[in-house]
Amino acid sequence: MTVEEGSASSPPGPAERAAAPLHLRPATAADIPSLVPLLLRLKRLNEEFDPLLRVRDDAPQQARAILESQIADPKALVLAAEGVGPDRDKLVGFVRAIVRERPFYTPEFEGVIVDIYLLPLYRRRGVGEYLLREVSSALKAKGAGVVTAEFPAQNEIASRFYAKRGFRPITLIHARSL
């Protein structure tokens, strides 16, 4: 589908799917230099799906500033996924989410997963499902009564991943160039 996806290994069998070969923990400011390239990989992947998602030249600086502010924000959640074995101490993925008020609907607060990313070699082994489970309970602990996910409509990986876990569209954003 994309250059990046082409580098992923073929889907593993059931035994390989069982384990979560990483360690998930809240990110700290010290993780920012390793998180920025992962966040940019995700945005560049999205760019491949849709020309209206062209990555800005200053995206690295934006990523740094957003991560700095959200790591310190009690209404946000940034989880860092560390590898194990030879990848120990290396960040192989991350999840970023925020708790947002819904002024007109109940539940009043939603936990919005804005980014979820794993390096290609770590995909399709059930790790994404593990990240989703962990971020959902952390968002619930922060007061969210519903969990939502924002992703580009053309991102087939994300739509299939979330659909498989029982997510369905509730709000659509349509766009056209001006």
Ligand X SMILES: CC(C)(COP(=O)(O)OP(=O)(O)OC[C@H]1O[C@@H](n2cnc3c(N)ncnc32)[C@H](O)[C@@H]1OP(=O)(O)O)[C@@H](O)C(=O)NCCC(=O)NCCS
Residues that bind ligand X (CB under 6 A): 5, 11, 42, 45, 115-118, 123-129, 151, 155-158, 160-161, 164
Beta carbon nearer to ligand X, 99 or 127:
127
Beta carbon nearer to ligand X, 16 or 89:
16
CA 118 vs. chain centroid, Å, equals 8
Beta carbon nearer to ligand X, 68 or 156:
156
- In the complex, the smallest distance separating the C-beta of residue 23 from ligand X, rounded to whole angstroms, is 15
Sign of CA dihedral 94, 134, 121, 113: negative
- In the complex, the smallest distance separating the C-beta of residue 75 from ligand X, rounded to whole angstroms, is 19
Beta carbon nearer to ligand X, 146 or 153:
153
- In the complex, the smallest distance separating the C-beta of residue 116 from ligand X, rounded to whole angstroms, is 5
Burial of residue 125, with CB atoms counted within 10 A of its CB: 0-12 exposed, 13-18 middle, 19 or more buried: buried
Q: In angstroms, rounded to a whole number, what is the distance separating the alpha carbons of residues 130 and 134?
A: 6
- In the complex, the smallest distance separating the C-beta of residue 149 from ligand X, rounded to whole angstroms, is 7
Beta carbon nearer to ligand X, 76 or 108:
76
- In the complex, the smallest distance separating the C-beta of residue 1 from ligand X, rounded to whole angstroms, is 6
State the residue number with the nearest CB to ligand X: 128
Q: In angstroms, rounded to a whole number, what is the distance separating the alpha carbons of residues 74 and 134?
A: 17
